[in-house]
Amino acid sequence: MASFEYNGNPSRVIFGSGTLSMLAAELARLEVCTPLFLSTPEQQGPTLELAKSLGARADHLFAEATMHTPLHITEKALGVANTCGVDSFVSLGGGSTIGLGKALSVRTGLVHICIPTTYAGSEMTPILGETVNGLKTTRRDPAILPTTVIYDVDLTLTLPAMMSATSGINAIAHAVEALYAANKNPIVSVLALEGIRPLARSLPTLVSSPSDISARKDALFGAWLCGFCLGSVDMALHHKLCHTLGGSFNLPHAETHTIILPHALAYNAPAIPEAMQKLAEVLPDSDGDAIKGLNVLLERLGVRTALKDFGLTEEDVTKAAEIALSKPYPNPRTLEMASIQELIRRAWVGEKARADL
């Protein structure tokens, strides 16, 4: 076995059904009592209900979390936090809300408790992606990592089928890239495969039976492991493309990850034969071909596979390639402008991924 380095992320995790009831005890354990609750506008109702159940005032809610964590939203939330004199943050929702919580916590040094309602995985990473003037940049710092994560399977039961599907593929993308990261290691590789396996198995069930509690547990557990992988090793081409498309073109996060994943994997396939083999083993119906396995999975989920459906224009394809390659992440295969542009074009049209880039 080759030498390697491994750094574990120290978040406290509470996992199960009905675990939301443990929030009050967790706040007490951390010796905080005046949290600012965070949500998107769509989840304002449930979040306000949670806040009031703990005796918080209605003005201790900031319900303007937005995808890609734009700086002006963070600064507005900071103003609310300062006015209210809060001593902690509680984020209830997906990647947009959790990203805002991370941005606030790292700036203030205050406790941050995450309660994920999707499979985004952001809650398990010391990574913060922020958008300023149409450009999304990321930074990694242990101080960004949330203090506690409360996974309550019950909160995912109302997640719509298509959102479950794309959020789950987003999680799988974290683990796929961890298999061939520049600083990969055998511990994270094992966790990546064990995260992908239950997600690939459970997501088709959730599309047809969204209230299947067993499948929900599998998906949430898999998402936890996949998110941990993202937070433990470096990102590569897949995430760079998604950050570019999201931050510069305002494409939706999970849907963009879903579309780009098989194409980015196809691009890197010639340079990562071992990772491709291991990935194929945990993807149903792959027949030994990981790219085929992902294509089949997306077909079974019925997700949209064309970036043009979400507002990207044909003229944007070249610009996206140029932005992505201007400051690239480490990648196992050398990045070639013509091939990356073709990759994005295929994703724009909605073609099936194939290994001929």
pLDDT digits (tens, 9 = 90+) for 269-302: 999 999 999 999 999 999 999 999 999 999 999 9
Do 260 and 238 touch, CB atoms closer than 8 A? yes
Domain assignment of residue 1, yes or no: no
Residue 345 and residue 198 share a domain: yes
Distance CA 58, CA 47 (A): 10
110 falls in which pLDDT band (50, 70, 90)?
very high
125-129, 193-197, 237-241: segment of lowest average pLDDT = 125-129
Give me the number of domains the chain comprises.
2
Residue 52 and residue 85 share a domain: yes
Choose among 271, 242, 111: nearest CA to 170.
Answer: 242
Residue 196 and residue 148 share a domain: no
Total number of residues shown for the chain: 357
Instruction: Point out the domain boundary residue: 131, 156, 181.
Output: 156
Instruction: Point out the domain boundary residue: 109, 127, 156.
Output: 156
CATH no. for residue 84? 3.40.50.1970
The pLDDT value given to residue 279:
98
Residue 222 and residue 137 share a domain: no
Structure tokens at 108: 């203030």
Residue 107 and residue 170 share a domain: no
CATH no. for residue 282? 1.20.1090.10
The pLDDT value given to residue 137:
86
231 falls in which pLDDT band (50, 70, 90)?
confident
The pLDDT value given to residue 136:
85
Question: If you average pLDDT over residues 206-227, what whole number do you get?
Answer: 96
Distance CA 114, CA 99 (A): 10
5-9, 132-136, 224-228: segment of lowest average pLDDT = 5-9
The pLDDT value given to residue 30:
96
Domain assignment of residue 7, yes or no: no
Residue 122 and residue 170 share a domain: no
138 falls in which pLDDT band (50, 70, 90)?
confident
pLDDT at 2 over 80: no
Question: If you average pLDDT over residues 215-229, what whole number do you get?
Answer: 95
Residue 171 and residue 150 share a domain: no
pTM, two decimals, is 0.91
Domain assignment of residue 3, yes or no: no
Domain assignment of residue 5, yes or no: no
Residue 230 and residue 211 share a domain: yes
Question: If you average pLDDT over residues 9-33, what whole number do you get?
Answer: 93
Domain assignment of residue 354, yes or no: no
Instruction: Point out the domain boundary residue: 156, 191, 221.
Output: 156
Distance CA 197, CA 218 (A): 9
120 vs 189 pLDDT, higher one: 189
Do 62 and 80 touch, CB atoms closer than 8 A? yes
Q: Tell me the torsion sign for CA atoms 95, 97, 100, 102.
A: negative
pLDDT at 7 over 90: no
Question: How would you classify the pairing of strands 127-132 and 135-140?
Answer: antiparallel
User: Per 3-state DSSP, what percentage of the chain is helix, strand, and coil (rounded to 5)?
Assistant: 60, 10, 30
Query: Domain containing 26: what range?
Result: 12-156
Residue 299 and residue 217 share a domain: yes
Domain assignment of residue 264, yes or no: yes
Residue 287 and residue 170 share a domain: yes
The pLDDT value given to residue 217:
96
Do 113 and 150 touch, CB atoms closer than 8 A? yes
**What are the distances in angstroms from CA 31 to CA 25, 27, 133, 236?**
10, 6, 38, 39
Do 266 and 226 touch, CB atoms closer than 8 A? no
Do 292 and 266 touch, CB atoms closer than 8 A? no
The pLDDT value given to residue 1:
65
The pLDDT value given to residue 5:
75
Residue 200 and residue 117 share a domain: no
Question: If you average pLDDT over residues 190-199, what whole number do you get?
Answer: 97
Residue 64 and residue 94 share a domain: yes
Question: If you average pLDDT over residues 327-333, what whole number do you get?
Answer: 95
pLDDT at 171 over 80: yes
Question: If you average pLDDT over residues 322-329, what whole number do you get?
Answer: 94
Task: Give the mean pLDDT of the chain.
Answer: 94
Domain assignment of residue 187, yes or no: yes
Which residues does residue 152 pair with via DSSP β-bridges, in sequence order? 16
Domain assignment of residue 357, yes or no: no
